[in-house]
Amino acid sequence: MRSKSFDGLALKQLVEAGLTWLRTNHQIVNALNVFPVPDGDTGTNMLLTMTSAYNEISSLGHHNAGQMAAAVAQGALMGARGNSGVILSQLWRGFSRALHGKDVIDASSLAAAFVEARDTAYKGVVRPVEGTILTVSKDIAIEALLAIKDTDDPVIVLRRCVAAADVSVQNTPELLPILKQAGVVDSGGKGLFFILEGMLRFLDGQSLELPLISVQPLSAMNLENALEDVEEGQDWEVVVDFRPHNGFELQSFYNRLEGMGTSIQVGEGEGMYRMHIHTPLEKRYEPIDYILGIGIITKVAMENLLAQMDDIESKASPAKLELTNIEPGQIAVVTVSPGTGLSRIFASLGVAAIVEGGQTMNPSTKDILESFENLPTERIIILPNNKNIVLAANQARDVTVKKVRVVPSRNVPQGLAAMLHLNPDADLDQVADKMIAAMESVVTGEVTIATRSVEIDGVTVKDGQVIALLNGKLAVASDSLEEACIELLEKAQAANFELITLFYGEEMKHVEANRIADLIRGKYPNQEIEVQEGGQPHYQFIFSIE
């Protein structure tokens, strides 16, 4: 007979199961990016948040469910990354609050925990938006309260909540028009669904390791990030481009690859497929031989992962930045920077600490907290420089005894404009207010490559085109980098401004950046044009127009 309650150790197993299933499918969540940009990271942020939550309890043996839940919430709080991760940590905080003092979780207390999770998450967001993970948490809570009228079995309650979450996720495009335009469901809601579904799959004895099958566009395959998942013994990376014969069946394809290696990704575009896998030395030719039997191979690439990792580590040791020494009582500025060049610029403007991160890797609450906790001053300003890092910065502010102001810069140009108003000896609130006013006067552009075909805000985008975002909104789609930059500046009405600064990304050479800057000078002879190394990933240019 199944127990009708979960103790702390059972909750620990459920958390691990939710984490495992999310890890298995987090790339599906990443692919649900509204804008067709190559840095969708909701799944990664939720995965890292859940990993931190589980690490907090991995060695604990609490039988008391309330104590175990409190530890999960603490781990999620400190590991929260990105808006989705912060909201997930708030869900765990509410969940644990409802279980305070509870030895076990029965059907009634599980429902109460889902309700308090919803309430806490909604309260943690200044302007809640429906059609997001918040809506999914609300629908879960409603279903949980309905379920306990019919059953005292917490597994049945969970089963009904998983079904409700699935329906809620599918309905998110009806509540949030931008999702409907992009043809996707809400990524955060999907991540929450996977966590709860993983718990249920564990209870039902189903596999947590075999991913749901999805094919992503070729341009969205992030094979660089795949290096983060290198497992011991999987020493070779194999990438095969091929055109399958008739009868190609994706599920069978995945099933065969599962026996050959790990970190499997499949991309598709115009009838061609790309397969990525990590294998042990002795199996590195098996995927190639297998694909020869099911299609026509057009290209093969093989890399020694250990050599790749050594090369990456050797490049990842930039010269030490000269950060500002802060005297006791002065204002210290902590800034988040996505590139080495941008970090050098921030250092020259007087920041006291730099947290590495940005679109492709949002720092955690703990990362931000640790950057200023040991500084010899109680007065701190945080510049997140990314709209997806603001909530984590706010959480860092809320868990420290220091006096902290978060200046909610949504991008790097806003952060740089804010730094020009730093006066370390002035009143903290006055300086922060001046920074906020300054950053609102800056116009920001970002140029990258589209990862899928879509139409948003009247802009039709084809996979692989150059696209530009103006103040965070999709504004331009073009077949050339030069045209995209010029059209972006036209839409920004750059002729009405004095200074245009181009921060070029890590994949662009200085000479190429200068060539495009010269084209811009020809179009805007009355404006000052500057070129700076940014070093940011994925984005060829970040524009600051002021």
* pLDDT for res 258: 85
Identity of residue 75: G
Beta bridge partner(s), residue 477:
467
Percentage with pLDDT > 70 across the chain: 91
CA–CA separation, 417 vs 439, rounded Å?
5
Give residue 530's pLDDT band: very low, low, confident or very high (50, 70, 90).
Answer: very high
Q: Which CATH number fits domain 8-203: 1.25.40.340, 1.10.10.10, 3.30.1300.10, 1.25.60.10?
A: 1.25.40.340
* pLDDT for res 41: 82
> Between the CA of residue 104 and those of 9, 24, 114, 394, 468, what are the distances in Å?
10, 29, 15, 33, 52
Query: Strands (DSSP E) along 205-327, which ranges?
Result: 216-217, 236-244, 262-269, 272-279, 295-304
435-452 pLDDT, tens digit each: 999 998 999 999 999 988
* pLDDT for res 214: 57
* pLDDT for res 416: 96
* pLDDT for res 312: 44
* pLDDT for res 269: 73
The C-alpha torsion from 188 through 191 and 196 to 199, rounded to 10°, is -160
Instruction: Report pTM.
Output: 0.81
| Tokens 């902590």 belong to residue | 334
Q: Which of 335, 540, 532 is nearest to 446 (CA)?
A: 540
Give residue 496's pLDDT band: very low, low, confident or very high (50, 70, 90).
Answer: very high
If DSSP codes are grouped into helix, strand and coil, which group holds residue 447?
Answer: strand
* pLDDT for res 212: 63
Q: Which of 36, 128, 48 is nearest to 362 (CA)?
A: 48
Q: For residue 490, count other CB atoms closer than 10 A to its CB.
A: 14
Topology of domain 216-313 in CATH is Alpha-Beta Plaits (3.30.70)
Strands 499-504 and 541-545: antiparallel
* pLDDT for res 40: 65
| Alpha carbon of residue 226 to chain centroid | 15
Question: CB within 8 A of 100, min separation 6: which ones?
Answer: 66, 70
Contact by Cβ (8 Å): 421, 393: no
pLDDT > 70? residue 216? no
Tokens of 9: 């150790």
Query: Strands (DSSP E) along 232-391, which ranges?
Result: 236-244, 262-269, 272-279, 295-304, 331-337, 353-356, 379-383
Mean pLDDT of 47-61: 94
How many Å is the Cα radius of gyration of the chain?
Answer: 24
Q: For residue 502, count other CB atoms closer than 10 A to its CB.
A: 23
If DSSP codes are grouped into helix, strand and coil, which group holds residue 483?
Answer: helix
* pLDDT for res 321: 78
Tokens of 496: 């009405």
Give residue 315's pLDDT band: very low, low, confident or very high (50, 70, 90).
Answer: very low
Strands 473-478 and 466-470: antiparallel
388-413 pLDDT, tens digit each: 999 999 999 999 999 999 999 999 99
CA–CA separation, 238 vs 396, rounded Å?
41
| CATH architecture of the domain covering 443-545 | 2-Layer Sandwich (3.30)
| Least confident interval from 21-30, 161-170, 203-212 | 203-212
Strands 262-269 and 216-217: parallel
| Least confident interval from 35-49, 221-235, 525-539 | 221-235
Beta bridge partner(s), residue 6:
105
Identity of residue 472: G
Identity of residue 515: R
Q: Which of 263, 260, 236, 252 is nearest to 295 (CA)?
A: 252
CA–CA separation, 187 vs 22, rounded Å?
12
* pLDDT for res 227: 45
257-270 pLDDT, tens digit each: 988 988 787 877 76
- The mean of the pLDDT values for the chain is 90
Topology of domain 331-425 in CATH is Rossmann fold (3.40.50)
Give residue 316's pLDDT band: very low, low, confident or very high (50, 70, 90).
Answer: very low
CA–CA separation, 314 vs 150, rounded Å?
61
Question: CB within 8 A of 449, min separation 6: which ones?
Answer: 38, 219, 464, 465, 466, 467, 540
Q: For residue 95, count other CB atoms closer than 10 A to its CB.
A: 27
Contact by Cβ (8 Å): 78, 365: yes
* pLDDT for res 485: 96
Give residue 319's pLDDT band: very low, low, confident or very high (50, 70, 90).
Answer: low
130-189 pLDDT, tens digit each: 999 999 999 999 999 999 999 999 999 999 999 999 999 999 999 999 999 888 899 999
Q: Which of 82, 18, 94 is nearest to 367 (CA)?
A: 82
In the chain, where the domains are located: 8-203, 216-313, 331-425, 443-545
